[in-house]
């Protein structure tokens, strides 16, 4: 057990302000600077380190509905070849963090520092003492809103992160090659969670991770995986363009989350923004035409519009709670995408078998 | 889909198997009924909701054992049977029926989890083998069938080891052994309960984690909830403080264990619900699976209440063949049953022990269960939930701190190392005495995260103590409330009164918020009525409309003296109120109950039952009034306080309640009304008490006020005992008077349960005790209608009751206890609330006394039901169930303080039939060939003589110690002499019991109460430890002998409730 960080003298107060004028005063336990973004909530009960480092949260102020946060501190941040061993990227990606009850005392064999110390090091502001349930109810009723964490005397303006190409911000700059398998997967990194890479490596694939707009027409590979990532899929025009080319070559493609939306756009379907998105670890999805149901981990604000799927494309999974699209599949069996996260981390690993399906595609 | 389904209940409440199975059985029946399935229930636990008329189509109040269940199957010819809703009792019975081929022969399909999967989880060798097949880790262990074998295995595994029994509920007979002699001793004992024991590596200091998992026939799985034990491995999960969800697990650990759980449940092929328990290394991701329970359990009930997910209900639907994705989530109405709840609060469960009620019992917590009930608290910080839960126990704690030396430890470090039920307070004490979190962790193995939370509460108390006496900073007050401090706790720390703190709070506008449990962290607008209070928040989740509502206070934790019967009363009061057009609101905090089911009331507050919380709820709810007479003593004790705080109490006035509960006032009242009572005196000084006791003659009865189950009641035989008992009584109920009265020997005790309106009796029932006065009414065997009570006695009781009802202007339920000797009738006690026997009399007489009482309370015009005690051509007998087996060392004798943990009731065409059925249901066996007899005093021997002759004529052989044996021989009854245990000579009584040579022990103690290791104690204890039926009451022994002489097992009729 470590002492709480020495910088956190008496807790500073700051406010979370929403674009509708709601104000939630809280106590700062992260980096003491004002910031702005889109406010979203996540109902997962474990996995704050994984969520915070998920690049899909870029631009988002993340509110956790599970009230006790910080209990097991932060794991060591060890990475090799730009691949983190335990986390989902090399840094905290969320714009800010909102919790109800922060635990300054933490305990875990694998913790190297407190959550507070980590947030401070990565310069991410965080507030505790905020009724995240009340906040969630508001977002649920009014939809996702812009918001800001404001410290006394340090005003900031609201910022809409969805107007930016966030995937471009979180993607890798240069291609990186991992592993030595006999088959090679090309991974388009739109903000890829590292557990996608680890999941592929565990299945003995070689992974070529390329930037979101990389022209891979000259690369040799057996299949294409389009990663998750932040923001509006329609911002990634180059990726969509490249995907269309790959589809024309009948290259096997598997899209995850944003990658799934990009695949749908490339196929000619449409995407739209959900009222408040799906961000949790308990999203139930049902495979169409059967009785297989999965509990899935999700983090997305946009979705594929079922009705716009072109001929030869079928909805593959559907959300049991609200009926939204959770997956698509092409009649050829060569292109598929899921809205949820088979790599989990955080969340249930029930959908992990989809990577096995992907591996099979590489042998088609 | 099956058209006719048999459901096995769990019989009497006992340690390890309590009210949770009323919840699960009731939910299963509801789920089946919804599908149009014809349901047949066997459960002799008459106080349960599941045995109500509106649930199962047919109810059999018969023992849940293979003999009776087979007969019911032959008679009813069901298509299917549910084994997993009645605890281990039902599961074991079902397995025996399966093995005997009864199910197959009668074409009865086991619904849900197949029998082979159940056996896989119950047989340790097969269990380990099955898990090995999928690479799931279990503790290294091996089965042993002799003590010698156990010693060898332990040697191979290395010490310490833990010994367990296959097919045991609540960890019966298991324990940690650190040396060879310890293994030898425990293995020897455990092997008398089972043919096979398990010797296993002991994972000291590992975390203990549980998951509740569901699977449907399409192989879809979810985990409804996980839970983390505050107490490390080694303490049975039923004995542990438990948090839900887990608090110290990372995402990797949480989902590693979840994944393994799903793999296991799939591999075993469970359909429905199961519970999987893990040990998790606190220093790595290494784990062991401890066990899988392929049935609804205590933990699943807890998980259900903790998450709001209706586990038992859904499990029953899965057993019928539904898929999880096909079922709606009936609590949220917006999601499907295929869904894992997301909590936005933390739940803390704490078991409730009653160990101090028992003589000579070991209070050490370990791998065997001793607790009798549990509480669950909900908060939005761990501190808030933990402190609430500690108060809910009603064992004198104000929370973690503010307990004013209530908990003293002779050896603090030992308490931390070898915990008892007071270990949490030892941790507090250690922190206050300067131990570091690190030190305490080293001694106790409790995770430091939990310890830091406790330390924070200790710090806040310090700040409160240091705050200046005239002003308490608002921020500190808020911090304390958010950490779960009650007003009284803050008052104690800051030297103010509870009312002052309430005043300060009101000035500051500091009130708890009403929060909703919706299973999905507010993600969707769920329509739930499941609520709790928390100071951690910014707004109420719901607003109350202006419905005409009534708040019913529940019974709180099950404990000895207050259990499922009061839940039955509270739930039935709710039904009656709803029928009368009220919006019903329940306040209770017991996760084992039906009253805390989401569908029983219009609103459910899962929170404390205290003055503070009731006032806060009333502030928002503004109910027409509060009903305190249905939940037993906990709500009853609040009547006067609520009344003084301006809350409307519905029913008999609080002043009247006080006149009945306050022993002095009540005795005065009886004198005024010219009603006979045993000579009594209010205690002023010990000397006066002694003078009085000598004057009327010992034995004298010590009686504190406002207590349930006769807590601290005792019969003193001499001055020194009197002094000792008085001291205890004053401590247990310091605000109220203690009275002593003459104790009458050889008198009958009779119960009068009634309902009155405006002081006039509307309905009543009279039940007689089999045992003479001196055995607490909760431990007595009750007979309705009375069979051995004089008509004149009944007439007098009726008249006296009328006088009392009128004098106290009773409006609602009440109970009066009488003693009678040769038609001299005296009143000993009166409670102006529903009593333990209300469900019994209601169901036997088929008149719902609670429905009547509730309508009386609400002022509805009532007609007196036509009931006459002479019009019944059947008899109901209620028998207590004792859990002495689980309370190591406890002396299994009866006295004026209640010790039974549950009860059953059976019907028969006559007394003998009903009596024997009830006794079988609590574990007696009719196949008696040998009896070990000791009968106490000569007078007692004389009284027993006729019974002994009856037994002799049945061909039963007697063993006895010299005195009794000689007496028997003198009276022409052959008896073989055995030596007393302490004589250590052969042939010895204890050895005969151990060797299974004795079928029944009749041991009538000479003294009322004596705390020493006597020969009698050793014989009784051996009987209990080696599972030999034991009778310690003379009247009970006599009735048993008479019944055995006249009725055979096959004479006991298989008749359902409606056939009487």
* Contacting residues of A for B453, CB less than 8 Å apart: 103, 105
CA–CA separation, B236 vs B396, rounded Å? 24
Q: What is the β-pairing status of strands B782-784 and B875-881?
A: antiparallel
Model confidence at A65, pLDDT cuts 50, 70, 90, reads very high
pLDDT at B230: 98
> Alpha-carbon torsion B189, B190, B192, B195, what sign?
negative
Q: What is the β-pairing status of strands B760-772 and B782-784?
A: antiparallel
Residue entry with tokens 């006895």: B960
Q: Do the Cβ atoms of B335 and A284 come within 8 Å? A: yes
CB B842, CB B849: distance < 8 Å = yes
The better pLDDT of the pair B598, B716 is held by B716
CA distance, residue B532 to nearest chain A CA (Å): 14
CA–CA separation, B215 vs B221, rounded Å? 4
Interface test with B, best of A26, A42, A71, A141 (most B CBs within 10 A): A71
| pLDDT of B7 above 90 | yes
CA–CA separation, B803 vs B448, rounded Å? 61
Chain B 960-1019, residues with CB within 8 Å of chain A CB atoms: none
CA distance, residue A214 to nearest chain B CA (Å): 33
> Once rounded to an integer, what is the mean pLDDT over residues A196-224?
97
Q: Do the Cβ atoms of A107 and B248 come within 8 Å? A: yes
Chain B 306-325, residues with CB within 8 Å of chain A CB atoms: 323-325
- Least-confidence region, from A309-323, B136-150, B609-623, B626-640: B136-150
> Once rounded to an integer, what is the mean pLDDT over residues A69-94?
94
Mean pLDDT (chain A, rounded): 95
pLDDT at B165: 79
Q: What is the β-pairing status of strands B221-229 and B207-215?
A: antiparallel
| pLDDT of B422 above 60 | yes
Model confidence at A7, pLDDT cuts 50, 70, 90, reads very low
For chain A, give every domain's residue range. Answer: 3-162, 166-362
Q: What architecture is domain A3-162?
A: 3-Layer(bba) Sandwich (3.50)
> Once rounded to an integer, what is the mean pLDDT over residues B168-177?
69
Domain A3-162 and domain A166-362, same fold? Reply is no
| pLDDT of B167 above 70 | no
Chain A 155-214, residues with CB within 8 Å of chain B CB atoms: none
Q: How far is CA B250 from CA A63, A116, B255, B275, B1007, in A?
A: 19, 16, 9, 21, 58
CA–CA separation, B406 vs B412, rounded Å? 14
CA–CA separation, A130 vs A24, rounded Å? 6
CB B387, CB B483: distance < 8 Å = yes
Q: List the end-to-end C-alpha distance of chain B, in Å, as a whole number.
A: 31
CA–CA separation, A213 vs A189, rounded Å? 9
Mean pLDDT (chain B, rounded): 93
For helices B87-99 and B20-34, the axis angle rounded to 10 degrees is: 60
CB B988, CB B978: distance < 8 Å = yes
Other CB atoms within 10 Å distance of the CB of residue B436: 14
* Structural Rg of chain B based on CA atoms: 28
CATH number of A166-362: 3.40.50.880
CA–CA separation, B701 vs B697, rounded Å? 11
Interface test with B, best of A41, A99, A282 (most B CBs within 10 A): A282
CB B198, CB B143: distance < 8 Å = yes
pLDDT at B1: 67
pLDDT at B405: 81
Q: Do the Cβ atoms of A49 and B525 come within 8 Å? A: no
Model confidence at A2, pLDDT cuts 50, 70, 90, reads very low
CA–CA separation, B520 vs B335, rounded Å? 9
- Least-confidence region, from A107-111, A343-347, B114-118, B683-687: B683-687
> Once rounded to an integer, what is the mean pLDDT over residues B533-560?
95
- Asked if A275 reaches chain B (Cβ–Cβ under 8 Å), the answer is no
Q: Do the Cβ atoms of A321 and B524 come within 8 Å? A: yes
| pLDDT of B563 above 50 | yes
CA–CA separation, B1001 vs B345, rounded Å? 51
> Once rounded to an integer, what is the mean pLDDT over residues A95-99?
98
CA–CA separation, B206 vs B234, rounded Å? 9
pLDDT at B171: 57
pLDDT at B733: 72
Q: Do the Cβ atoms of A46 and B245 come within 8 Å? A: yes
> Alpha-carbon torsion B989, B992, B996, B1002, what sign?
negative
pLDDT at B126: 93
- Containing B839, the helix (H) or strand (E) segment is helix B838-845
pLDDT digits (tens, 9 = 90+) for B915-963: 999 999 999 999 999 999 998 888 889 999 999 999 999 999 999 999 9
pLDDT at B168: 54
CB B746, CB B787: distance < 8 Å = no
Phi/psi for B1045 (5° steps) reads -65, -25
Please tell me whether the peptide bond between B674 and the residue prior to it is cis, using omega within 30 degrees of 0: no
- CB-count exposure of residue A313 (10 Å: 0-12, 13-18, 19+): buried
Q: How far is CA B162 from CA A356, B130, B323, B343, B550, in A?
A: 41, 21, 39, 34, 51
> In terms of pTM, does the model score above 0.80?
yes
pLDDT digits (tens, 9 = 90+) for B258-276: 999 999 999 999 999 999 9
The better pLDDT of the pair B8, B982 is held by B8
Share of chain B above pLDDT 90, in %: 81
> Once rounded to an integer, what is the mean pLDDT over residues A130-145?
96
| pLDDT of B387 above 90 | yes
CA–CA separation, B860 vs B60, rounded Å? 33
Model confidence at B711, pLDDT cuts 50, 70, 90, reads confident
Which residue from A40, A170, A156 is spatially nearest to A96, judged by alpha carbons? A40
Other CB atoms within 10 Å distance of the CB of residue B851: 18
| pLDDT of B731 above 80 | no
Mark whether A192 is an active-site residue.
no
Closest residue of B to A351, CA-based? B259
B758: left (phi over 0), alpha (psi -120 to 50) or beta: left
Model confidence at B470, pLDDT cuts 50, 70, 90, reads low
> Once rounded to an integer, what is the mean pLDDT over residues B53-71?
97
pLDDT digits (tens, 9 = 90+) for B358-379: 878 888 898 889 999 999 999 9
The better pLDDT of the pair B406, B563 is held by B563
Share of chain A above pLDDT 90, in %: 94
Return the half-sphere exposure (C-beta side, CA atoms, 13 A cut-off) of residue B878: 29
Q: Tokens standing for B749?
A: 């005790």
Cα A303–A304–A310 angle (5° rounding)?
Answer: 175
CA–CA separation, B724 vs B704, rounded Å? 13
Model confidence at A6, pLDDT cuts 50, 70, 90, reads very low
CB A171, CB A48: distance < 8 Å = no
| pLDDT of B726 above 90 | no
CB B383, CB B391: distance < 8 Å = no
CA–CA separation, B459 vs B465, rounded Å? 10
pLDDT at B889: 83
CA distance, residue A354 to nearest chain B CA (Å): 16
Other CB atoms within 10 Å distance of the CB of residue B1023: 26
| pLDDT of A8 above 60 | no
Q: What is the β-pairing status of strands A335-338 and A325-330?
A: antiparallel
Q: Tokens standing for B147?
A: 């003590």
- Containing A186, the helix (H) or strand (E) segment is strand A183-189
DSSP labels, A257-320 = THHHHHHHHHHT--EEEEEEEEEEEEEEEEETTSS-EEEEEEEEEEEE-GGGPPTTEEEEEEET
Of all residues in chain A, what percent are helix, strand and coil, respectively (each to 5)?
25, 35, 45
- CB-count exposure of residue A157 (10 Å: 0-12, 13-18, 19+): exposed
pLDDT digits (tens, 9 = 90+) for A226-277: 999 999 999 999 999 999 999 999 999 999 999 999 999 999 999 999 999 9
User: Any residues with CB less than 8 A from the CB of B135 and at least 6 apart, and which?
Assistant: none
CA distance, residue A202 to nearest chain B CA (Å): 16
Residue entry with tokens 């310690």: B1032
Q: What is the β-pairing status of strands B80-82 and B109-110?
A: parallel
pLDDT digits (tens, 9 = 90+) for B219-245: 999 999 999 999 999 899 999 999 999
Model confidence at B172, pLDDT cuts 50, 70, 90, reads low
Q: Tokens standing for B671?
A: 């004198």
CB A247, CB A266: distance < 8 Å = yes
- Asked if A110 reaches chain B (Cβ–Cβ under 8 Å), the answer is yes
- Please give the DSSP secondary-structure letter assigned to residue B559: B
| pLDDT of B1058 above 60 | yes
Phi/psi for B364 (5° steps) reads -65, 135
């Amino acid at each position: 057990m470590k002492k709480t960080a020495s910088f956190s003298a008496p807790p500073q107060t700051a406010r979370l302000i929403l674009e509708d004028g709601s104000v939630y005063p809280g106590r700062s336990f992260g980096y003491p600077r004002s910031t702005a973004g889109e406010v979203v909530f996540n109902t997962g009960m474990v996995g704050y380190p994984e969520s915070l480092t998920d690049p899909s949260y870029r631009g988002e102020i993340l509110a956790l509905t599970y009230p006790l946060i910080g209990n097991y501190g932060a794991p060591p941040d060890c990475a090799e070849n730009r691949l983190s061993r335990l986390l989902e990227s090399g840094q905290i990606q969320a714009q800010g963090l909102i919790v109800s009850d922060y635990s300054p005392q933490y305990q875990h064999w694998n913790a190297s520092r407190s959550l507070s110390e980590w947030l401070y090091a990565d310069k991410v502001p965080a507030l505790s003492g905020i009724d995240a349930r009340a906040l969630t109810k508001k977002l649920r009723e009014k939809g996702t809103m812009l918001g800001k964490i404001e410290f006394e005397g340090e005003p900031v303006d609201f910022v809409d992160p969805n107007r930016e190409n966030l995937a471009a911000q979180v993607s890798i700059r240069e291609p990186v090659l991992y592993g030595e398998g006999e088959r090679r997967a090309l991974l388009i990194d739109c903000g890829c969670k590292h557990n996608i890479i680890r999941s592929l490596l565990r299945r003995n694939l070689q992974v070529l991770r390329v930037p979101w707009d990389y022209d891979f027409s000259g690369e040799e590979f057996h299949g294409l995986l389009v990663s998750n990532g932040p923001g509006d899929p329609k911002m990634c025009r180059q990726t969509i363009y490249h995907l269309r080319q790959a589809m024309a070559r009948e290259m096997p493609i598997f899209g995850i989350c944003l990658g799934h939306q990009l695949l749908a756009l490339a196929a000619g379907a449409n995407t739209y923004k959900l009222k408040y998105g799906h961000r949790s670890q308990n999203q139930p999805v049902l495979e169409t035409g059967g009785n297989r149901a999965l509990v899935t981990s999700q983090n997305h604000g946009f979705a594929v519009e079922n009705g716009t799927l072109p001929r030869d494309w079928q909805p593959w999974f559907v959300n049991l709670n609200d009926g939204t699209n959770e997956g698509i599949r092409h009649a050829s069996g060569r292109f598929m995408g899921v809205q949820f996260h088979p790599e989990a981390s955080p969340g249930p690993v029930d959908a992990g078998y989809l990577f096995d399906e992907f591996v099979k595609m590489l042998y088609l | 889909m099956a058209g006719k389904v048999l459901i096995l209940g769990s019989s009497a409440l006992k340690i390890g198997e309590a009210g949770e199975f009323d919840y699960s059985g009731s939910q299963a029946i509801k789920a089946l009924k919804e599908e149009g399935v014809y349901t047949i229930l066997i459960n002799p636990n008459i106080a349960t909701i599941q045995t109500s008329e509106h649930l199962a189509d047919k109810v059999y109040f018969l023992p849940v054992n293979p003999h009776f269940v087979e007969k019911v199957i032959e008679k009813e010819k069901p298509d299917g049977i549910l084994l997993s809703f009645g605890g281990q009792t039902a599961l074991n019975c079902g397995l025996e029926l399966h093995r005997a081929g009864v199910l197959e022969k009668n074409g009865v399909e086991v619904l849900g989890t197949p029998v082979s999967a159940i056996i896989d989880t119950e047989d340790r060798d097969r269990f380990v083998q099955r898990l090995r097949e999928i690479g799931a880790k279990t503790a290294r262990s091996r089965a042993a069938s002799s003590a010698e074998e156990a010693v060898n295995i332990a040697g191979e595994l290395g010490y310490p080891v833990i010994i367990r029994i296959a097919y045991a509920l609540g960890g019966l007979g298991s324990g940690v052994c650190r040396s060879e002699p310890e293994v030898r001793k425990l293995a020897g004992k455990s092997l008398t309960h089972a043919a096979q024991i398990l010797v296993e590596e002991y994972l000291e200091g590992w975390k203990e984690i549980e998951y509740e998992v569901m699977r449907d026939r399409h192989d879809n799985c979810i985990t409804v909830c996980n839970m983390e034990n505050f107490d490390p491995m080694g303490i049975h999960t039923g004995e542990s403080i438990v948090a839900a969800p887990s608090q110290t697990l990372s995402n990797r650990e949480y989902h590693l264990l979840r994944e393994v759980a799903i793999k296991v449940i799939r591999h075993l092929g469970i359909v429905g619900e199961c519970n999987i328990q893990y040990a998790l290394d606190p220093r790595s991701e290494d784990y062991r699976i401890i066990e899988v329970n392929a049935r609804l359990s205590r933990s699943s009930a807890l998980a259900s209440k903790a998450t709001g997910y209706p586990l038992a209900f859904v499990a029953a639907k899965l057993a019928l063949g539904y898929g999880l994705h096909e079922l709606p989530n009936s609590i949220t109405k917006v999601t499907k049953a295929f869904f894992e709840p997301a909590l936005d609060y933390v739940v803390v469960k704490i078991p409730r022990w009653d160990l101090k009620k028992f003589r000579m019992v070991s209070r050490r917590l370990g791998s065997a269960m001793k607790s009798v009930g549990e509480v669950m608290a909900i908060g939005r910080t761990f501190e808030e939930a933990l402190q609430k839960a500690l108060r809910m126990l009603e064992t004198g704690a104000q929370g973690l701190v503010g307990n004013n030396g209530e908990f003293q430890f002779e050896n603090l470090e030992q308490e931390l190392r070898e915990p008892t039920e007071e270990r949490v307070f030892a941790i507090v004490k250690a922190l206050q005495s300067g131990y570091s979190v690190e030190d305490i962790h080293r001694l106790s193995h409790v995770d430091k995260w939990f310890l830091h939370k406790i330390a924070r509460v200790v710090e806040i108390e310090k700040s409160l103590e240091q705050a200046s006496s005239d002003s308490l900073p608002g921020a500190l007050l808020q911090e304390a409330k958010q950490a779960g401090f009650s007003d009284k706790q803050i008052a104690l720390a800051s030297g103010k009164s509870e009312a002052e703190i309430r005043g300060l709070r009101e000035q500051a506008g500091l009130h708890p918020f009403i929060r909703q449990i919706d299973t999905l962290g507010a993600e969707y607008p769920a329509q739930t009525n499941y609520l709790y209070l928390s100071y951690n928040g910014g707004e109420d989740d719901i607003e109350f409309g202006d419905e005409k509502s009534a708040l019913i206070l529940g019974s709180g934790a099950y404990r000895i003296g207050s259990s499922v019967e009061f839940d039955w009363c509270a739930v039935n009061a709710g039904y009656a109120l709803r029928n009368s057009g009220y919006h019903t609101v329940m306040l209770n905090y017991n996760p084992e109950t039906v009253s805390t089911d989401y569908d029983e009331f219009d609103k459910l507050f899962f929170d404390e039952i205290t003055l503070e919380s009731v006032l806060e709820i009333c502030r928002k709810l503004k109910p027409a009034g509060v009903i305190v007479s249905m939940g037993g003593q906990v709500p009853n004790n609040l009547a006067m306080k609520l009344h003084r705080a301006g809350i409307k109490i519905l029913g008999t006035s609080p002043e009247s309640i006080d006149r009945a509960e306050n022993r002095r006032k009540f005795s005065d009242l009886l004198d005024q009304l010219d009603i006979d009572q045993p000579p009594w005196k209010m205690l002023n000084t010990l000397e006066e008490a002694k003078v009085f006791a000598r004057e009327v003659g010992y034995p004298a009865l010590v009686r504190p006020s406002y207590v349930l189950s006769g807590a601290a009641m005792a019969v003193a035989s001499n001055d020194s005992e009197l002094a000792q008992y008085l001291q205890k009584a004053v401590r247990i109920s310091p605000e109220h008077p203690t009275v002593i009265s003459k104790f009458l020997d050889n008198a009958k005790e009779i119960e009068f349960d009634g309902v009155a309106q405006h002081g006039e009796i509307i309905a009543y029932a009279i039940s007689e005790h089999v045992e003479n006065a001196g055995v607490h009414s909760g431990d007595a065997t009750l007979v309705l209608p009375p069979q051995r009570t004089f008509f004149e006695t009944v007439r007098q009781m009726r008249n006296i009751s009328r006088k009392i009802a009128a004098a106290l202007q009773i409006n609602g339920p009440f109970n009066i206890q009488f003693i009678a000797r040769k038609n001299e009738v005296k009143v000993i006690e009166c409670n102006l609330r529903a009593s333990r026997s209300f469900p019994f009399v209601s169901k036997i007489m088929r008149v719902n006394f609670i429905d009547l009482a509730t309508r009386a309370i609400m002022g509805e015009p009532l007609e007196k039901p036509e009931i006459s005690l002479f019009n019944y051509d059947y008899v109901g007998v209620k028998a207590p169930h004792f859990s002495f087996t689980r309370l190591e060392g406890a002396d299994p004798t009866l006295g004026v303080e209640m010790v039974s943990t549950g009860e059953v009731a059976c019907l028969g065409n006559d007394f003998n039939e009903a009596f024997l059925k009830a006794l079988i249901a609590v574990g007696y066996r009719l196949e008696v060939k040998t009896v070990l007899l000791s009968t106490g005093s000569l007078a007692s021997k004389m009284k027993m003589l006729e019974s002994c002759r009856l037994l002799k004529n049945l061909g039963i052989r007697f063993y006895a110690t010299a005195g009794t044996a000689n007496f028997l021989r003198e009276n022409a009854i052959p008896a073989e002499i055995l030596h007393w245990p302490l004589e250590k000579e052969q042939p010895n009584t204890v050895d005969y019991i151990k060797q299974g040579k004795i079928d029944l022990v009749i041991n009538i103690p000479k003294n009322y109460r004596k705390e020493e290791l006597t020969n009698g104690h050793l014989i009784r204890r051996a009987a209990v430890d080696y599972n030999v039926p034991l009778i310690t009451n003379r009247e009970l022994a006599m009735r048993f002998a008479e019944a055995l002489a006249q009725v055979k097992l096959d004479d006991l009729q298989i008749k359902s409730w409606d056939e009487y």
